[in-house]
Amino acid sequence: MRTVNENKEETPGCNAMEENKEENNLKTARIWRDAALRSRKLRSNLRQLTLCSKNNLEIILPDDIAEIEVLNLGNNFLQALPEGLGSTLNNLRVLILRRNKFTNVPGVVFELGQLLELDMSHNCLKYSCGDVEVEEKSLDIHRQIGLQEHTDMENLRGLIQQVDLALEQGFNVRSLSPHIPFYGVSDRNLRRRKSQLQYMMNHRLQILSPVLSVSCTSAQQNIQRLRDKLTSVADHRDIFPNLHRVLPKSWQMLEELHFKPKDLWLSWWDSARLGLQAGLTEDRLQSALSYLHESGKLLYFEDSLTLKEYVFHNLPRFIAIINVFFQRDESTLLDRLLSEGERGEKGRVSLVIEDEKGESLRVAHLQHFVEGFLQNGLLPSIVIRLLLRPLIQTQQDLHLIMQLLEKMGICYCMNKARNKPLNGATVWYRFPSYVSRDFPSSTEASVSGGSFCQFFSVEQLNVQYCFPVLFPPGLFDRFSVQINSHVVQRSDGRHQICAFRGKVPVVISHHPPKGKRIETLSIVSHASLPNIWTAWQAIMPLVEELNMLLQEWPALLYSVHILCSKCLKRGSSSPHAFPGELLSQPRPEGLTEIICPIGTERVNVALVYPPTPTVVSPSPK
């Protein structure tokens, strides 16, 4: 399968029958185009879809359908879907499943319900079984889809009924006892919660057709039906309004002018000069660039102080750069690093290049860096520059690309303060998705507060996010990047980050589901009761960052809780959870303590309510 973008440059494709290396290239391109899109950073640039069989027979599907995304899971585990699935608003997903490996409907398909999706079984091995089995498998997939959708709707209705009952009770009744559901939650916050649940009810996944079995063999089974389906969906103005939007000719000309330069990026002034050629004034140029960004023609970040001075117009080259970082094969990465070195005995490289200090990097050094990258996600800038040649040419190329990757939540700079030079020291970057150890070492965890509950004078603040159905793929990695500007002295594990906010320790932990325990993400700090405000100051900026990040999944079901400090101090395995809505409410006047429903202990309100209520994110419309 190939994707061809609008400026006709072909990017690496995937065929369910091709070699793994080629498949990985497309997969990582799809993953990280989606990762970018989750923050409105990169819209799909797919213009033409070609299905290829082993004998190179090509079936060309409709072109110029800008918002069709293809996820080919032919040779991948369905439980490990590409990151970003579900992030696209108002676009059609074509999910390609390999029939003989399909076991169940991936949960991610349903739980991010703003999608409009067409599911298909990918019958590349048509000759391996009969028509009856193909039909039975397709019907089974469709049945599972129906059952999952029915279950989800029933669960949402039950949650809405709980909120309605709490609203009928009134705030005074809800505030009488912590045993009452939604204890202390204001009517305003309850109405907001109901609005969120109703949004999920009204924006469910739409299955546009029964599962379609498509063959890439010479029979080309159902190919015409697929073509017709994609074309008919693209004709719906309510689904794809951008495809039917009449654009000013100056905007179209601006797009064409941006595709001519072969550079990796353009300065804003270079782009402005192209705008003048297209007949656009400076104020109209801003609107045109924003549209081209939203439609996936280029990248322009007007919300970034540094990146807003640049326009990234060469998306095929950018995707090629991203693919470099996600080749999880040591020999492939090492070969790329050694591609321009001086050959020694047996064709190996003895001397590669000088680093920033003029010291020679040899094979042993590079192999050490590659091993560190694959195990801990660490890479110095000099090695990154070697990996990306010839895709980047200058030091400024490297600087901008790394800023762009950080903006997308792919990596963060470990040892450089914002906008401050390092005076010749090596710049190191960490890619959280490569961190292999589950948790930081026990020493690091204890230093950052991993065992502070044993001290009687210490109180713990624990804000917990619960994800009963789905934990968004890549959320912890992106959150890890997002919080980097807020913390110091951090130590990363695959599922935990220990760090400091000033002198106050914070621990961010991701707990995958285990048995009946649902998946959670918690933000924890601690202090003595008189100084508990310092712990609130440490965790609330991180809470707000996570809330902002979760807005990118408006149909995601999750809840927030403040765990009881007294229960945690006792070591309870099931501490009482106060409603997370209290984080956005002022402390009640005249109330100094709350009785914990589990241990009947008195809990100071300062351990449940922050000194200053957090900003509430806008409800989805």
pLDDT at 205 over 50: yes
CATH code for position 543: 3.30.310.200
Same domain, 220 and 77: yes
CATH code for position 291: 1.10.10.10
pLDDT at 102 over 80: no
pLDDT at 571 over 50: yes
- The secondary element (H helix, E strand) that includes residue 318 is helix 315-325
Q: What is the average pLDDT across 517-540?
A: 95
Q: What mean pLDDT value characterizes the chain?
A: 73
Same domain, 293 and 331: no
Domain boundary among 194, 213, 244: 244
Same domain, 556 and 571: yes
Confidence of residue 217 (pLDDT cuts 50, 70, 90): low
The answer to whether residue 402 is domain-embedded is: yes
Q: What is the average pLDDT across 602-612?
A: 93
Confidence of residue 130 (pLDDT cuts 50, 70, 90): low
The answer to whether residue 152 is domain-embedded is: no
Confidence of residue 283 (pLDDT cuts 50, 70, 90): confident
Residue 372 is part of which domain span? 327-434
Per-residue pLDDT at 26: 26
Same domain, 395 and 469: no
- The lowest-confidence range among 125-139, 230-244, 410-424, 488-502 is 125-139
Name the burial class of residue 80, with classes exposed (0-12), middle (13-18) and buried (19+) by CB atoms within 10 angstroms of its CB.
Answer: exposed
Q: What is the Cβ-side half-sphere exposure of residue 554, based on CA atoms within 13 angstroms?
A: 21
The answer to whether the CB of 335 falls within 8 A of the CB of 325 is no
Q: Tens of pLDDT along 51-95? A: 333 333 343 444 444 444 444 433 333 223 333 333 333 445 555
The answer to whether residue 192 is domain-embedded is: no
Which is higher by pLDDT, 535 or 72?
Answer: 535
Q: What is the average pLDDT across 275-298?
A: 88
Helices (H) and strands (E) in the chain, counts: 18, 27
Q: Tens of pLDDT along 345-364? A: 444 444 445 555 555 667 88
pLDDT at 338 over 60: yes
Measured CA distances, 291 to 73, 181, 316 (Å): 31, 45, 19
Same domain, 378 and 466: no
The answer to whether the CB of 377 falls within 8 A of the CB of 369 is no
- Top mean pLDDT of 52-66, 184-198, 592-606 is at 184-198
Which ranges constitute the DSSP H helices of 242-281?
249-258, 268-277
Same domain, 264 and 230: no
Measured CA distances, 105 to 115, 144, 516, 592 (Å): 15, 7, 20, 50
Count of structural domains, the chain:
4
Alpha-carbon distance of 180 to 183, in angstroms, equals: 6
Q: Tens of pLDDT along 536-550? A: 999 999 999 999 999
Same domain, 421 and 344: yes
The answer to whether the CB of 34 falls within 8 A of the CB of 83 is yes
Same domain, 67 and 208: yes
Which is higher by pLDDT, 20 or 177?
Answer: 177
Q: Tens of pLDDT along 256-272? A: 999 888 899 999 999 99
Same domain, 285 and 137: no
